[in-house]
Amino acid sequence: MIVYEAVARRDGRFWFIEIPELELFTQARTLDEIDEMAREVIAISLEIPAESFGVHVGVEQ
Protein backbone atom coordinates (compact mmCIF):
# COMPACT_ATOMS: atom_id res chain seq x y z
CA MET A 1 0.00 0.00 0.00
CA ILE A 2 1.27 3.46 -0.88
CA VAL A 3 1.59 5.86 2.05
CA TYR A 4 1.63 9.60 1.35
CA GLU A 5 3.26 12.09 3.72
CA ALA A 6 1.21 15.08 4.79
CA VAL A 7 2.61 18.05 6.72
CA ALA A 8 0.22 20.18 8.77
CA ARG A 9 1.05 23.67 10.03
CA ARG A 10 -1.11 25.99 12.09
CA ASP A 11 -2.17 29.06 10.10
CA GLY A 12 -4.37 31.31 12.21
CA ARG A 13 -7.61 29.48 12.97
CA PHE A 14 -6.94 26.74 10.43
CA TRP A 15 -4.42 23.98 9.73
CA PHE A 16 -2.63 24.29 6.40
CA ILE A 17 -1.93 20.81 4.97
CA GLU A 18 0.67 20.05 2.32
CA ILE A 19 1.22 16.76 0.51
CA PRO A 20 4.69 17.54 -0.93
CA GLU A 21 5.04 14.38 -3.01
CA LEU A 22 1.97 15.34 -5.07
CA GLU A 23 2.29 19.14 -4.74
CA LEU A 24 -1.19 19.29 -3.18
CA PHE A 25 -2.55 21.62 -0.52
CA THR A 26 -5.70 21.77 1.56
CA GLN A 27 -6.81 22.96 4.98
CA ALA A 28 -8.66 21.74 8.05
CA ARG A 29 -10.36 23.49 10.95
CA THR A 30 -9.17 21.06 13.64
CA LEU A 31 -6.42 18.53 14.23
CA ASP A 32 -9.01 15.76 14.04
CA GLU A 33 -9.91 16.74 10.44
CA ILE A 34 -6.34 16.72 9.07
CA ASP A 35 -6.23 13.04 8.04
CA GLU A 36 -9.68 13.20 6.46
CA MET A 37 -8.94 16.36 4.48
CA ALA A 38 -5.53 15.11 3.31
CA ARG A 39 -7.07 11.80 2.24
CA GLU A 40 -9.88 13.60 0.40
CA VAL A 41 -7.60 15.89 -1.64
CA ILE A 42 -5.35 12.96 -2.59
CA ALA A 43 -8.27 10.74 -3.61
CA ILE A 44 -9.89 13.47 -5.70
CA SER A 45 -6.71 14.55 -7.46
CA LEU A 46 -5.60 10.98 -8.27
CA GLU A 47 -9.16 9.73 -8.90
CA ILE A 48 -8.71 6.73 -6.60
CA PRO A 49 -10.66 5.48 -3.57
CA ALA A 50 -9.65 7.09 -0.27
CA GLU A 51 -9.26 3.61 1.25
CA SER A 52 -6.64 2.54 -1.31
CA PHE A 53 -3.69 4.37 0.28
CA GLY A 54 -2.33 5.43 3.64
CA VAL A 55 -1.54 8.89 4.97
CA HIS A 56 1.16 9.72 7.50
CA VAL A 57 0.59 13.14 9.05
CA GLY A 58 3.39 15.18 10.55
CA VAL A 59 2.37 18.21 12.59
CA GLU A 60 4.67 21.22 12.75
CA GLN A 61 4.16 23.67 15.59
Strand 14-19 versus strand 24-28 pairing type:
antiparallel
Q: Name the residue ranges covered by the structural domains of the chain.
A: 3-60
Q: Are 8 and 16 in contact (CB under 8 A)?
A: yes
61 CB-near residues (< 8 Å, 6+ apart):
10
Assigned CATH topology for domain 3-60: Double Stranded RNA Binding Domain (3.30.160)
Q: Are 26 and 17 in contact (CB under 8 A)?
A: yes
pTM score of the predicted model: 0.93
The pLDDT tens digits of the residues spanning 3-25 come to 999 999 999 999 999 999 999 99
Please tell me the predicted confidence (pLDDT) of residue 26. 98
Q: Is the pLDDT of residue 61 over 90?
A: no
The pLDDT tens digits of the residues spanning 21-49 come to 999 999 999 999 999 999 999 999 999 99
Angle (nearest 5°) at CA 1 between 56 and 4:
30
Q: pLDDT: is 1 or 25 the higher one?
A: 25
